[in-house]
């Protein structure tokens, strides 16, 4: 049975389907979420002949976003989001039809890369998305010390200022900081101005028993040089204050991050600082002396990357070492990528060219997505997820794709 995917014509039904799939509390404010950062022409739906009647069988949406790549280029990407299939329609190929539709539309729009955050690890690999960025959740005790002797001069010139996230102008300041630093932190995903309005929207239902979310800006010479978002929660144990402050992504250069980190472990009435999004090579892990310098540390996947148009995507980034490898690419959902490519990197510049030469390596397009932001993919050969036809050639490819520093995790979207 062929499944038709088409643009949404009914915003209420689209929203109702999302609310059914995600079974959260439905509030009057939810329509805002639909409007902010999810353009009307980027909402897509599936209906099946046998229903459901009052909902769609499946929906997805695309946020127009940008992402920084190794070398500093900031390129447009399709931010895949709002993916959901009605409980009655699941496991009948609705998601597969929507993914085929998404990849075709994205390529036609001239966008080379799609990216997402996955609700479950097993869903998106089959569609050619590779797990491209790791993130840590790090707990720190109050008063944790950070040691960074060569940053101290720079940190001395930085001050920090707490404001309320929903205040006028804060979303614009946050976005400006992110734009300014994205090139230095490849993997950063920059949302549209509307998306930042969504991020800073404070709906009453989310405020029960909670304070309004705050932002601490780092400033130098009257200019914003970084920020992080946070929310404090009260807790009293044996009459002693032992609250938790949950802190979002850090944005800014290393000195600004250090000033912000010191501030968030030194908030009155807090016992624990929970940092939600710390990259695998974030300087913070060096400042505390490694994992056991934290109270707790957990690792999981952040951004998944899909090369929608391999030929266009390969040269968008730079490469730290040279390579010249013939790759047989398997790509069931974007057949225009499938087949033999000569992937080269010379003095930093990459080129992907069609070839009839015998392949050195056979791999799924997801492997190239996993490595596109610089994340190490060398281990996939040992894991049996890559087939090598000429010994040592996969290492050449993996070495060229990886970067000295692991990529930056992104804010959830």
Ligand X SMILES: CC(C)(COP(=O)(O)OP(=O)(O)OC[C@H]1O[C@@H](n2cnc3c(N)ncnc32)[C@H](O)[C@@H]1OP(=O)(O)O)[C@@H](O)C(=O)NCCC(=O)NCCS
The residue among 91 and 150 lying less far from ligand X, judged by its C-beta, is: 91
The residue among 260 and 370 lying less far from ligand X, judged by its C-beta, is: 370
CB of 127 to ligand X, least distance (A): 8
CB of 306 to ligand X, least distance (A): 13
Q: Which of 45, 67, 77, 94 contacts ligand X by CB under 6 A?
A: 94
CB of 124 to ligand X, least distance (A): 7
Residue 88 as a binder of ligand X (CB under 6 A): the answer is: no
Tokens of 229: 């978002």
Residue 383 as a binder of ligand X (CB under 6 A): the answer is: no
- Residue of 14, 60, 124, 146 marked catalytic: 124
CB of 174 to ligand X, least distance (A): 24
Q: Is 124 a catalytic residue?
A: yes
Give the binding-site size for ligand X (rule: CB under 6 A): 17
Residue 113 as a binder of ligand X (CB under 6 A): the answer is: no
CB of 4 to ligand X, least distance (A): 14
The residue among 301 and 388 lying less far from ligand X, judged by its C-beta, is: 301
On whether the CB atoms of residues 270 and 154 are closer than 8 A, the answer is: no
Exposure string over 182-204, b if 16+ CB within 10 A, otherwise e: beebbbbbbbbebbbbbbbbeee
Q: Which of 91, 150, 208, 240 contacts ligand X by CB under 6 A?
A: 91
Q: Is 23 a catalytic residue?
A: no
* Binding span for ligand X by CB under 6 A among 4-12, 34-42, 119-127, 329-337: 119-127
Distance CA 209, CA 49 (A): 45
Query: Which residues contact residue 45 at a Cβ distance below 8 angstroms, ignoring those fewer than 6 apart?
Result: 5, 6, 7, 8, 13, 14, 17, 56, 58, 59
Residue 122 as a binder of ligand X (CB under 6 A): the answer is: yes
Residue 1 as a binder of ligand X (CB under 6 A): the answer is: no
On whether the CB atoms of residues 57 and 126 are closer than 8 A, the answer is: no
Residue 119 as a binder of ligand X (CB under 6 A): the answer is: yes
- Residue of 127, 129, 227, 413 marked catalytic: 413
CB of 202 to ligand X, least distance (A): 24
The residue among 122 and 156 lying less far from ligand X, judged by its C-beta, is: 122
Residues in the chain: 413
Residue 411 as a binder of ligand X (CB under 6 A): the answer is: no
Residue 77 as a binder of ligand X (CB under 6 A): the answer is: no
Residue 362 as a binder of ligand X (CB under 6 A): the answer is: no
CB of 412 to ligand X, least distance (A): 10
The residue among 118 and 373 lying less far from ligand X, judged by its C-beta, is: 118
Residues 18-37 that bind ligand X (CB under 6 A): 21
Residue 118 as a binder of ligand X (CB under 6 A): the answer is: yes
Active-site residue list: 124, 413
Residues contributing to the site for ligand X (CB under 6 A): 21, 83-85, 90-96, 118-120, 122-123, 126
């Amino acid at each position: 049975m062929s499944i038709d995917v088409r643009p949404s014509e009914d915003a209420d039904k689209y929203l109702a389907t999302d609310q059914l799939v995600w079974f959260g509390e439905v509030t009057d404010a939810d329509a805002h979420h639909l409007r902010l950062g999810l353009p009307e022409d980027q909402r897509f739906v599936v209906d099946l002949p046998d229903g459901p009647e009052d909902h769609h069988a499946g929906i997805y949406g695309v946020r127009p976003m940008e992402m920084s790549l190794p070398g500093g280029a900031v390129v447009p990407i399709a931010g895949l989001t709002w993916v959901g299939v009605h409980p009655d329609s699941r496991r009948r190929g609705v998601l597969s039809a929507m993914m085929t539709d998404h990849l075709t539309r994205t390529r036609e729009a001239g966008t080379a890369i799609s990216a997402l955050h996955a609700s479950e690890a097993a869903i998106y690999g089959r569609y050619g998305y590779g797990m491209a960025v790791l993130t840590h959740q790090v707990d720190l005790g109050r008063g944790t010390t950070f040691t960074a002797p060569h940053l101290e001069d720079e940190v001395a010139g930085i001050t920090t200022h707490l404001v309320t996230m929903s205040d006028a102008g804060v979303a614009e300041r946050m976005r400006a900081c992110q734009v300014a630093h994205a090139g230095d932190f490849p993997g950063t995903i920059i949302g549209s101005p509307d998306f930042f309005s969504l991020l800073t929207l404070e709906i009453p239902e989310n405020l029960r028993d909670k304070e309004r979310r705050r932002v601490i800006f780092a400033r130098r010479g009257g200019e914003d040089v970084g920020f992080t978002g946070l929310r404090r929660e009260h807790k009293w144990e044996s009459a002693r204050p032992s609250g938790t402050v949950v802190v979002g992504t850090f944005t800014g250069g290393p000195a600004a991050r250090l000033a912000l980190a010191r501030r968030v472990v030194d908030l009155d009435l807090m016992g624990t600082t929970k940092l939600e999004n710390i990259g695998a090579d974030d300087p913070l892990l060096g400042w505390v002396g490694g994992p056991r310098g934290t109270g707790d540390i957990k690792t999981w996947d952040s951004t998944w990357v899909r090369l929608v148009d391999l030929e266009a995507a390969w040269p968008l980034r730079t490469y730290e070492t040279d390579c010249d490898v013939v790759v047989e690419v398997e790509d069931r959902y974007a057949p225009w990528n499938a087949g033999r490519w000569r992937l080269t990197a010379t003095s930093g510049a990459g080129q992907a060219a069609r070839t009839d030469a015998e392949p050195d390596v056979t791999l799924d397009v997801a492997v190239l997505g996993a490595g596109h932001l610089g994340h190490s993919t060398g281990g996939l050969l040992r894991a049996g997820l890559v087939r090598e036809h000429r010994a040592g050639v996969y290492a050449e490819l993996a070495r060229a794709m990886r970067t000295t520093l692991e990529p930056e995790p992104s804010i959830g979207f």
